[in-house]
Amino acid sequence: MSEPLRIGVLGAARITERSLIDPARATGHRLVAVAARDRARAEAFAAGHGVERVAGSYAELVADPEIDIVYNPLANGLHGPWNLAALAAGKHVLSEKPSASNTQEAAEVRQAAQKAGAVFMEAFHYLFHPVTRRLHELLASGELGELRHVEAMVAIAAPPDTDPRWSLPLAGGALMDLGCYSLHALRMLAPWAGGAPRLAGARGGERAGAPGVDEWLDADLEFPGGATGSARCHMAYDGLEMSIRIVGSRGEATAPNFVLPQRDDRIVVRTPEGERTERLGTRSSYTYQLEAFAAAVRDGAALPLDADDAVTTMELIDACYLEAGFEPRPRTRI
């Protein structure tokens, strides 16, 4: 049995329980420290989640010699600066997406990861779950025929107006928070589409009271092999939708919730032979992700995501913003 990873957590974000605490417990890793701007909040978080101790600041946490891995679930605009700080301290980094506020900052994060010789990964957890792996298998096996079209929609009900996801200085917006999944899922189909997609068009709508911040954005993509794609996101939607539909020349497959497959693990496959529903299991995508990340840190196992992939995603996000009439997100100075 290899030694448990020693993890430090930046911030006391609500998502962390689902995205890291539970998976770390399930896989036997240590939660060494947490830091938050409000020490009392960090202490409550540590007590509630079995984190060993509280660090006095983000800077103290990333410098801590007892920590191997830094998990960064802070507001989007704080991903880049603290990813850079953690990598400069020689830590491996699991960062919530996107890795930075814009392409230039993402490229700096990549350079820092290379210099540190560290494992760096954006937390696109959906990719590690059997639901997404099965969608890829259905294309690879030829059961769906040649890829013709794919559409992904990631949408949630509106967060409160005070939420950092609506803040331009903190790199907010629907595309940053949600649309990155849609774009990423389409990018990952490149092996069955003759190569990486290019942006063919994008439209978006601004959030009332939040100048420069997108409430929704739709992107049209084209693959070299002739397939088309639609990557959509909406952060003030009537309910929750996180679906992907893959259409081939012989059939199609739909996953009703590819982003959180633990909530709905179905894939519906329709071919000339008929329709069937496959269930791929409700074990958390975040647990699969942490296992893969740990294997990369401990054993040098290959990961499907790295700092290069993060830059490519960010380039596409920035291109979507420009095409839809927005500016790429500004850097957050800390």
d(C-alpha 183, C-alpha 205), whole Å: 18
Kindly state whether residues 190 and 64 are assigned to the same domain: no
Count CA atoms closer than 13 A to 321's CA, side-chain side: 26
> Number of structural domains, the chain?
2
Same domain flag for 119 and 137: no
Backbone φ and ψ for 289, nearest 5 degrees, come out as -65, -45
Q: Does residue 230 sit in the same domain as residue 118?
A: no
Q: Is the pTM of this model over 0.85?
A: yes
Is residue 17 located within the same domain as residue 109? yes
pLDDT in tens, the chain (334 residues): 678 999 999 999 888 999 999 999 999 999 999 999 999 999 999 999 999 999 999 999 999 999 999 999 999 999 999 999 999 999 999 999 999 999 999 999 999 999 999 999 999 999 999 999 999 999 999 999 999 999 999 999 999 999 999 999 999 999 999 999 999 999 999 999 999 999 999 999 999 999 999 999 999 999 999 999 999 999 999 999 999 999 999 999 999 999 999 999 999 999 999 999 999 999 999 999 999 999 999 999 999 999 999 999 999 999 999 999 999 999 998 8
Q: Is residue 200 located within the same domain as residue 100?
A: no
Surface-to-core class of residue 131, CB atoms within 10 Å of its CB (0-12 exposed, 13-18 middle, 19+ buried): buried
Q: Any idea what the Cα angle at residue 210 is, between residues 207 and 213, rounded to 5°?
A: 65
SS (H, E, C) the chain: CCCCCEEEEECCCCHHHHHHHHHHHHHCCEEEEEECCCHHHHHHHHHHHCCCEECCCHHHHHHCCCCCEEEECCCHHHHHHHHHHHHHCCCEEEECCCCCCCHHHHHHHHHHHHHHCCCEEECCHHHHCHHHHHHHHHHHCCCCCCEEEEEEEEECCCCCCCCHHHCCCCCCCHHHHHHHHHHHHHHCCHHHCCCCCEEEEEEEEECCCCCCCEEEEEEEEECCCCCEEEEEEECCCCCCEEEEEEEECCCEEEECECCCCCCCCEEEEEECCEEEEEECCCCCHHHHHHHHHHHHHHHCCCCCCCHHHHHHHHHHHHHHHHHCCCCCCCCCCC
262 and 163, same domain (yes or no): yes
pLDDT at site 217: 99
Structural domain contains residue 327:
no
> CATH number for the domain including 217?
3.30.360.10
Instruction: Say yes or no: 181 and 257 in one domain.
Output: yes
Task: Say if residue 114 is in the same domain as residue 206.
Answer: no
| Residue 32 forms part of a structural domain | yes
Residue 334 counted as domain residue: no
d(CA 322, CA 202): 9
How far from chain centre, in Å, is Cα 215?
19
Contact present, 214 and 199 (Cβ < 8 Å): no
Residue 270 lies in a domain: yes
CATH number of residue 65's parent domain: 3.40.50.720
Is 13 contained in some domain? yes
On whether residue 59 sits in a domain, the answer given is yes
Instruction: Kindly state whether residues 42 and 81 are assigned to the same domain.
Output: yes
Query: Would 314 be classed as within a structural domain?
Result: no
Provide the pLDDT for residue 2. 78
Range of the domain at 301: 6-124+288-305
Query: Please, what sign has the CA dihedral across residues 60, 63, 68, 73?
Result: positive
> Is-contact 169 330, C-beta < 8 A?
yes
What is the C-alpha separation between 146 and 141, in angstroms, rounded? Answer: 10
- The answer as to whether 80 is a domain residue is yes
Same domain, 134 and 274: yes
Residues 257, 158: one domain?
A: yes
Contact 75, 170 (CB under 8 A): yes
Beta strands at 228-234 and 147-155: parallel, antiparallel or unpaired: parallel
Residues 246 and 102 placed together within one structural domain of the fold: no
